[in-house]
């Protein structure tokens, strides 16, 4: 049983109750006895249902939840730890020191509005909101849970989906403006659609030149799933040439003077300007490869296995129609219309149905 009492020198009422023999005390934050009695009934009801009393959740600060969120990234050795830390910094600027129950949907909407007023894109804000949602989900899964409920976190509509493609002519012209060490990299990316980091980390122990196979082991890819691709003759010949010229002190297939290829954004932007395609990204090879595979008649599931896409939704975002596809559709429509006009001109229209004439003699008989 619990009780209600006042401390000396205070006006507010306090309540005291027990759970598993452990006493809990908290202030009702009111000088009205009825408020304290109502709070005591709430706490005793929570305990009778096997829940932690609300005071346990009221003491949890957002800073503690963020630390648990980052710890989860560290112990699982996630490669996106730096992105998680960046999101956590912005969230802490807004919610640092706040009690977890005080972070409600209206409060989160204020944060969204503030970031939008700062000129931050919807995609960036969504990454921060995803980190916030992950933080609360981890807290709710703890034993015992650290939050009583997870607030509804609205996500923004992203309208900055890229639609860049490398047509073959552009791809050939771009290679002429890139340094020699990057030409094999973009050639591999154009055909396979692999991510830049996956290509940069590729080592010779993952390549079987006899069988013409390249492998990514489970845990090395972004989606944590392994995959195997067979090289077409052009790629296989390129890999054999790289193997003949390889450095024995370097395990990487693609390298710069024996070291793993790092950030090449400056070189990339200069080559794109010289090719007259400014603003194109290396990641555009990814959607280009997928579109080319679909055009070649490769089943979608096989194309996803080659490129490393795990979900159908992301695959659909990349399989975007290009300008050449639209022009080809127009040419096909024109050819169809011309064929229809030709049929009409040479009398191939549908013959009219003859009306049957009934004589009076036939009716009388």
Give the pLDDT means over successive 10-residue stretches in the chain (365 positions).
81 77 76 83 71 65 93 88 94 93 93 94 93 93 81 85 81 95 95 90 93 82 73 93 94 94 94 93 89 83 80 62 70 83 68 55 52
What pLDDT does residue 33 have? 83
Q: Distance of alpha carbon 44 from its chain centroid, rounded?
A: 43
Q: What is the DSSP letter of 232?
A: P
Structure tokens at 250: 């370097």
CA distances to 254, 304, 310 from 313, in Å: 31, 11, 9
Q: Do residues 308 and 216 make contact, with C-beta atoms less than 8 angstroms apart?
A: yes
Residue showing tokens 């009388």: 364
CATH number attached to the domain at 168-318: 1.10.443.10
For 251: left if phi > 0, alpha if psi spans -120 to 50, otherwise beta; the answer is alpha
What pLDDT does residue 235 have? 92
The H or E element containing residue 173 is helix 168-177
Rounded Cα–Cα distance for residues 213 and 216 (Å): 10
What pLDDT does residue 336 have? 83
The pairing of beta strand 207-208 with beta strand 22-27: unpaired
Rounded Cα–Cα distance for residues 52 and 39 (Å): 14
What pLDDT does residue 309 have? 74
Q: Do residues 3 and 15 make contact, with C-beta atoms less than 8 angstroms apart?
A: yes
Rounded Cα–Cα distance for residues 235 and 212 (Å): 9
What pLDDT does residue 291 have? 84
What pLDDT does residue 7 have? 85
Residue showing tokens 């082991």: 217
Structure tokens at 53: 């009393």
């Amino acid at each position: 049983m619990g009780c209600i009492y006042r401390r000396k020198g205070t006006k507010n009422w306090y309540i005291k109750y027990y759970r598993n023999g452990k006493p809990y005390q908290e202030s009702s934050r009111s000088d009205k006895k009825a408020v304290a009695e109502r709070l005591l009934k709430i706490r005793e009801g929570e305990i009778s249902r096997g829940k932690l009393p609300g005071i346990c959740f009221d003491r949890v600060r957002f800073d503690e939840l963020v630390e648990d969120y980052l710890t989860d990234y560290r112990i699982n050795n996630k490669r996106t730890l730096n992105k998680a830390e960046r999101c956590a910094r912005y969230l802490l600027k807004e919610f640092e020191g706040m009690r977890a129950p005080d972070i409600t949907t209206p409060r989160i909407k204020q944060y969204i509005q503030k970031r939008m007023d700062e000129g931050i894109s919807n995609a960036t804000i969504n990454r921060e909101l995803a980190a916030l949602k992950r933080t609360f989900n981890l807290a709710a899964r703890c034993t015992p849970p650290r939050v009583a409920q997870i607030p509804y976190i609205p996500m923004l509509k992203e309208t900055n989906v890229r639609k860049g493609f490398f047509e073959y002519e552009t791809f050939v012209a771009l290679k002429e403006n890139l340094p020699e060490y990057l030409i094999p990299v973009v050639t591999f990316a154009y055909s396979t659609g692999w991510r830049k980091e996956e290509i940069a980390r590729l080592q010779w122990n993952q390549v079987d030149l006899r069988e013409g196979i390249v492998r990514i082991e489970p845990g090395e890819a972004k989606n944590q799933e392994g995959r195997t691709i067979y090289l077409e003759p052009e790629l296989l010949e390129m890999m054999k040439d790289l193997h003949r010229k390889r450095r024995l002190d370097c395990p990487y297939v693609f390298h710069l003077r024996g070291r793993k290829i790092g950030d090449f954004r400056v070189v990339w932007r200069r080559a794109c300007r010289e090719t007259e395609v400014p603003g194109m990204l290396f990641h555009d090879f990814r959607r280009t490869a997928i579109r080319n595979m679909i055009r070649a008649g490769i089943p979608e599931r096989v194309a996803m296995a080659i490129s490393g896409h795990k979900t159908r939704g992301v695959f659909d975002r990349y399989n975007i129609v290009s300008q050449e596809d639209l022009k080809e559709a127009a040419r096909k429509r024109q050819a169809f219309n011309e064929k229809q006009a030709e049929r009409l001109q040479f009398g191939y229209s549908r013959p009219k149905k003859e009306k049957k004439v009934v004589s009076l003699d036939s009716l009388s008989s």
